[in-house]
A and B are shown apart, each in its own frame.
Chain A
Amino acid sequence: MTTSTAKTGGYTGIDLNADRNRNSTLGAVALAILGLVWANGHLDGYQMQLLNLVAINAILAVSLNFIYGFAGMFSLGHAGFMAIGAYVSALCILTPDQKDMIWLLEPIWGPLNTVHTSFFVSVLLGGLAAALCGFLIAFPVMRLGGDYLGIATLGFAEIIRVLFTNWPALTNGAIGLRGIPAYANLWWNYAWLGLTLFVILAILKSNFGNVLKSIRDDEIAAQTMGINTTAYRTMAFCLGAFFAGVGGALMGSLVTTIQPKMFNFLLTFNIMMIVVAGGLGSITGSLVGAAVVTLMLEWLRIIEYPIDVNMTYLMGHAWLQVLITALALAALWFSFRQVRKSGRGLSMKKALWSLPIVFCGLILAGFVLRWLNADILPAEFTIPGIPGMRMLLFSVALILIIIFRRQGMMGSREFSWNAFYRFFRVPEKQKNIPMAKGAAMEISGVTMRFGGVTAIDNLSMTIPEKKVVGLIGPNGAGKTTVFNVITGFYRPQEGRVVFQGLPMTQLEPRTVCAVGVARTFQNIRLFAGGTVLENVMTGCHVRQDSRWWMAPLRLPMFHKEENEIRRKSYALLARLGLAELADEKAASLPYGAQRRLEIARALATDPSFLLLDEPAAGMNPQESGELMRFIEKVRDEFDLTILMIEHDMKVVMGVCSHIWVLEYGRLIAEGGPDDIRSNPKVISAYLGHQATETA
């Protein structure tokens, strides 16, 4: 989904980049047209055919995605709609003379013989006929949910196919129609694709798109919002059917011959494959998927043809032998490792990684045989083409996508110009911003909204240098959001954060770390697989000067720095009382030690500002007492500013010299511990009547 206002000023709901984006779209369309002009002049017939197929498959995929990914109706009837579109359109553009030639067994039904229309009108009629059929079957099948709808629509498609086979007066039966005029050129196909996209995107981007998605996600809730779900589902189904009919009509004119058996379940399956591979619920995904799957299917035809292997040629080139052997050995070794790593027992992963082992093993065996000069392997042989191999690979691909990357290539994301320009944005030159004396960080007027919810509302804080200060407030007050804004995970809609004169709100999290702000997390996020020492060493990476490629080269500079990091990490652990745990797995540490390790790792990045998110969470009073002393020690020894979020009032009141109190994203109080303790607003919002007892 586009987040159009992430970068711009206030949240008005209006895309401030609308002009730019519209111009960009127009530019892209113009570019696409130029591309088509070029393609028209330069590509050969086969390539043109592919390009046309991409457009038609894109129309079909977008229409199926509209029905299924957006309106949530599992429809397997696309082939039926395509058949209707193809036949209606063909009947409209075949001339009466041609019809006389085609309908030999049984004469064509009277009135049809006289019909003759232009190509555009025929495609339109094809689409409308499909939509009409969609409307008629929508009545009985729309009441069915989920899989029943799928099987009923599949049934519809089969009925259409059987009907067309057995109705020679209308369709010329199983023989089908030949010599359909090939009007469907690049221009028509891409113009129809453009129209499809225009109509469907216009609906999806409007509030009606939200309505459709709400029906998909929760039909009952949608009904209680006053939405006529049946009407909208029917509308979506018919519109999808319309464009499926259009796609079928174009397909018919492209291939010029149609038969009922063309429109079988396999066709629906291919389109389904495109939609799933591209990403259910992403129009962009359907377009990308149409291109990738169409071209892949063509490209994979190779494996259904025989392949000639000339061993003498391979053996004749020493360097080629060496290269292939090396590659095969490397692949073999890598696959073996993967199989070993995938653990005991049978697993999907193991099975997959065994395939390259077999393949490479065969290659190597072939070489060995030739070297031994055995006549077992002929010098030249042909790997026979295997029919069915292409669909076999394709079905494997579909299963793998569903198991390992269910969301497809795009998930439900869409292309957006805002994201596009964000990607190419040149970082603005940072200007130093003057700060108040003695302040480590200034947060001024920061507002952070998520959708309609304001998580932080116009927050301003001036954090003094070299102090331990606290941020408190009830759950959901927005405390952690403040941390996420400071450390660059969120971009606030308004306001700015200045650290040592540097504006922070545009920085990436890693840059925030580089300028000297480190943090810990509420729910400890250690690198669980690594040891304690490794966790801390990872923290040192941000200050590391040597580069990864120096490691295999064993450069002295690398060695020196590596030793330095190891020494420094040990020293850090020693200072924090974790030295004897250095080689333990981080995940195996007791809770309190994990908290301290996370702080140690943060300190390894050499920060001058440290953010601690609920460091005392889950600690008993004794542990939290130790933690208080620990924090003060860290502040003194490492000479830094600490801002902490904490619920344990004893800790907060004990170590913080200044405290800010948030409620519903707004600052309701700030001051020293004594001011906060006695502030009536804070008591009623957060501390409650027990404040006097516990604090």
Chain B
Amino acid sequence: MTFELFIQNFFNALTVGSLYALIAIGYTMVYGILRFINFAHGDVFMVGAYFIFFGAATFALPWPLAAVAAIVGSAALGIIVDRIAYRPLREAPRISALISAIGVSFLLENLGLVIFTGLPRPAVQPEWMVNPIILGNIRILPISFIVPLVTAVLVMGLLWLVYRTRPGLAMRAISRDIETTRLMGVSIDRIIALTFGLGSALAAAAGIMWAMRYPQIHPFMGVMPGFKAFIAAVVGGIGSIQGAVLGGVLLGTVEIMAVAFYPELSGYRDAFAFVLLIVILLFRPTGLLGEKLDDKI
């Protein structure tokens, strides 16, 4: 492989990995607090992409405004989903919430099918994103810089929120001991809603950037990235934001680089994530950065 190709693949990997990381954060935060896989999270990612499509194409909003609207709309969707489908099940066995989440996932996908139809739509791409930057022999799309950069900024912001603010403190406390946290005057429903809102906003940001990178939007576009991002969260250590970022970037790198070095494996691309998952779990059952949670006996 030439150096130029390697650089291009490197940026590709970074882009895909960043997007996985953004989605994975939502999984990891919800799992950290409620201990269930929010299967519908990947579909919020899809809805985010549709929102910006309709914002920019149908309502002719300027692009940045459409992006903000899509993020806010998706955050609201995440909160509503929690309110309707998950909150009634807080006291129920976790498996119930999980099945409810699978139901919501199919609901959103098929709702997308009914409302948006199954036809893939082209994403609206601002000019400056599609004109490649040429450095010698290397052609790189600006989006390949933008995605990792935006991701880094968003993750920094999130880390600041979680580690430096009071709601963040409450989030970290809830993930370990809901009852005690309530005793300190924390309203858990509000904090959980905030968690869903933040996670969904990040997923929507990922959805928007995904649509810029792979400009095709369809109702099932969230399924595979969703599964893979969850796997990234597990690989990184579920409950850990840094772990989700690490897992996402790792997964993106493995996918892109394996195909880059062994093109004959390209058909298996969707299976890498699952193989990586099983291998990692065999050696580190709590993921790369996950803390060991003791079972109470």
Contacts and interface: CB of A to CB of B under 8 A. Distances in A.
A and B touch in the complex (CB under 8 A): yes
Interface of A: 74, 140-141, 143-144, 146-148, 150-152, 154-156, 158-159, 162-163, 165-166, 220, 265-266, 269, 272, 276, 346, 348, 351, 386-389, 391-392, 394-396, 398-399, 402-403, 406
B102 interface: yes
Contact of A158 (B84, B94, B274, B297): B274
18 contacts: A140-B278, A144-B285, A146-B94, A147-B94, A148-B285, A151-B37, A155-B273, A162-B268, A276-B99, A348-B84, A351-B84, A388-B110, A388-B112, A391-B110, A392-B107, A392-B114, A395-B104, A403-B85
A148 B92 CA distance: 19
Given A143-B285, A395-B107, A402 B274 contact: no
Closest 8 A/B residue pairs (Cβ): A388-B113, A155-B274, A395-B106, A398-B103, A392-B110, A395-B107, A166-B267, A162-B271
Given A272-B99, A402-B99, A162 B267 contact: yes
Contacts of A159: 271, 274-275
A154 to B, nearest CB: 7
Interface in B86-106: 88-89, 92, 94-96, 98-100, 102-106
Given A272-B102, A403-B88, A406-B96, A395 B110 contact: yes
A141 B278 CA distance: 7
A351 B105 CA distance: 19
Nearest to A139: B282
B155 interface: no
B4 interface: no
Contact of A388 (B31, B105, B114, B278): B114
A402 B88 CA distance: 10
Interface in B267-293: 267-268, 270-271, 273-275, 277-278, 281-282, 285
Interface in B20-67: 31, 35-37
Nearest to B104: A399
Contacts, number: 129
Contacts of A351: 84
B210 interface: no
A305 to B, nearest CB: 14
Contact of A152 (B36, B83, B111, B278): B278
A389 B231 CA distance: 30
Contact of B231 (A155, A163, A346, A395): A155
A398 B106 contact: yes
Interface residues of B, number: 50
B231 A151 contact: yes
Given A155-B231, A166-B267, A386-B114, A147 B98 contact: yes
Contacts of A388: 109-114, 118, 219
A156 B271 CA distance: 9
Contact of A151 (B107, B111, B230): B230
Contact of A402 (B96, B111, B277, B285): B96
B227 interface: yes
B234 interface: yes
Nearest to A264: B223
Contact of A162 (B104, B109, B270): B270
A395 B193 CA distance: 23
A155 B278 contact: yes
B227 A399 contact: no
B113 A387 contact: yes
Contact of A398 (B35, B102, B219, B270): B102
A400 to B, nearest CB: 9
A74 B118 CA distance: 31
A152 B109 CA distance: 23
Nearest to A389: B114
A387 B119 CA distance: 11
Given A220-B297, A394-B106, A399 B118 contact: no
Contacts of A140: 278, 281-282
A119 to B, nearest CB: 31
A188 B229 CA distance: 42
A331 to B, nearest CB: 23
Interface centre among B99, B113, B219, B282 (most CB of A within 10 A): B99
B106 A269 contact: yes
Contacts of B297: 220
A455 B136 CA distance: 89
Nearest to A219: B295
A346 B79 CA distance: 13
A399 B103 contact: yes
A272 B98 CA distance: 12
Contacts of B85: 399, 403
A396 B108 CA distance: 10
Contacts of A146: 94-95
Contact of A156 (B96, B110, B273, B274): B274
Given A147-B37, A165-B267, A403-B85, A396 B107 contact: yes
Nearest to B277: A155
Given A163-B268, A220-B297, A266-B106, 11 more contacts: A148-B234, A155-B227, A155-B275, A158-B271, A158-B274, A391-B110, A392-B110, A398-B102, A399-B100, A399-B107, A402-B103
